[in-house]
Amino acid sequence: MRVLKKDYWKRFPQWADVSKWDWEDWKWQIRNRIRSLSQLEEILGIDLSHLKKVEKVFRTGTTPYYLSLVKDLSDLNNPILKQILPSCKEIDPQIQAEGSFDPFKEEVMSPVKGLTHRYPDRVLFRVTTFCSVYCRHCMRKRIFLEEERANRYEEYIRMIEYIRNNPIIKEVLISGGDPLTLPNRKLEFILEHLSRIEHVKIIRIGTRELVVNPYRFFDDGLLELLDRCDKLWIVTHFNHPDEVTDVVKKAVRNILSTGTPVLNQTVLLKGINDDPYIIEDLMRNLLQVKIKPYYLFYCDPTKGVMHFRTDIKRGIEILEHLRGKVSGMGIPVYAVDLPGGLGKVPLTPDYVLEETKEYLLLKSPEGKTVKINRLNFDIIDNHTKEQEDLCL
């Protein structure tokens, strides 16, 4: 976990006079977002004019808090900065040729505007196109092209009615944009109506505010709402250990005090976290602040995002590294979300090397091969890969 220094934001001349009271106000963070490359240029002291053509296609945006996590402002390869700074690769027709703005058919599988019904028992409930930070790897990058707007109440009502009339639906994922950028009164309306539907057993809020604006969870009004909704889970999105700070720890403590569990989904991103030691540190940091690692996703085939994709086997290699080094609590499910709305497929290392009626030949996390009796699991033979090589 990263401990931030007192008044850490004051190293930026633009925020040197900002009080602790203002800085820790989630609404101040949103009101004072960096919304353009010109603002980023001023803060970073770097010429970004070559990226202006990207901004004409995909908007720019970040909170002061999230930008303040960048350790070296001159390092354009900083993992925080790479998640918010536009890249010419986003609009390169060759790099992005195989991408789609809606690879999972969310708009096609939408019986009601704003609601996607991909899985029989679950629906995606999109409440806004607004985010306080526009992540360059966003799987809904199409919203960068849209007007920033929250849905109207009548739109929420139509989505809620669809859910109420379909008893097969057991779980609702509230997403956006970022739903926790909504004012509390709108969140209250949505949560209260969904909570009253008896066949809805679980409500998830998918949010990155815990990462980019954790002060949202210092708001007593929001915490009261969370406390009243006992069906609720928070699913957040940390990608790098530098994002897990003592401010986040305090925010998570506030969430847990309401009885709301917190899970994390990480996306495997080239040049940001596609390293087993970075992911190991991230998983440990998440557990330290009591966030349960949930998914490690292979980067989605979204247009504008394709340059972040790694080899799909990289995630399996990372899982192999984690197994035996991190407790089971800290090992996420590595998964690829299939295009066309076909669903998520878990990808795992193959620990079964050979199988017969009499025995199993297994690979241990330490790289040993172990032959065990299939019936009683007694060890028949136990030798390392290095010993095998010597025998050969």
How far apart are the C-alpha atoms of 26 and 65, rounded to whole Å? 10
Q: Which residues are catalytic?
A: 118-119, 122, 131, 135, 138, 140, 300, 337, 344
Structure tokens at 174: 């509230």
Phi, psi of 175 (to 5 degrees): -140, -160
Query: Could you tell me the CA-to-CA distances from 392 to 364, 385, 388, 389 in Å, in that order?
Result: 20, 11, 6, 5
The 10s digit of each residue's pLDDT in 146-195 is 888 899 999 999 999 999 999 999 999 999 999 999 999 999 999 999 99
pTM: 0.92
CA angle (133, 135, 140) in 5-degree steps: 110
How far apart are the C-alpha atoms of 192 and 178, rounded to whole Å? 19
- What confidence category does residue 376 fall into, taking pLDDT thresholds of 50, 70 and 90? confident
pLDDT number for residue 304: 96
The 10s digit of each residue's pLDDT in 46-98 is 999 999 999 999 999 999 999 999 999 989 999 999 999 999 999 999 999 99
Tell the residue number behind the tokens 């970073």, with chain if given. Answer: 44
The 10s digit of each residue's pLDDT in 196-214 is 999 999 999 999 999 999 9
Q: Is 50 exceeded by the pLDDT of residue 384?
A: no
Domains and CATH numbers, the chain: 1-349 (3.20.20.70), 352-391 (no CATH)
pLDDT number for residue 350: 84
Are 150 and 127 in contact, with CB atoms under 8 Å apart?
yes
Burial of residue 94 (CB within 10 Å: 0-12, 13-18, 19+) is exposed
Tell the residue number behind the tokens 């027709």, with chain if given. Answer: 93
How far apart are the C-alpha atoms of 53 and 190, rounded to whole Å? 38
Structure tokens at 81: 């900065």
Structure tokens at 192: 């209260």
Across the range 363-390, mean pLDDT stands at: 71
- What confidence category does residue 341 fall into, taking pLDDT thresholds of 50, 70 and 90? low
pLDDT number for residue 343: 79
Q: Print the SS3 string covering the chain.
A: CECCCCCHHHHCHHHCCCCHHHHCCHHHHHHCCECCHHHHHHHHCCCCHHHHHHHCCCCCCECHHHHHCCCCCCCCCCCCHHHCCCCHHHHCCCCCCCCECCCCCCCCCCCECCEEEEECCEEEEECECCCCCCCCCCCCHHHHHCCCCECCHHHHHHHHHHHHCCCCCCEEEEECCCHHHCCHHHHHHHHHHHHCCCCCCEEEEECCHHHHCHHHHHCHHHHHHHHHCCCEEEEECCCCHHHCEHHHHHHHHHHHCCCCCEEEEEEECCCCCCCHHHHHHHHHHHHHCCCEEEEEEECCCECCCHHHCCCCHHHHHHHHHHECCECHHHCCEEEEEEHHHCEEEECCCCCEEEECCCEEEEECCCCEEEEEECCCCCEEEEEEHHHHHHHC
Query: Could you tell me the CA-to-CA distances from 149 to 179, 181, 195 in Å, in that order?
Result: 11, 11, 24
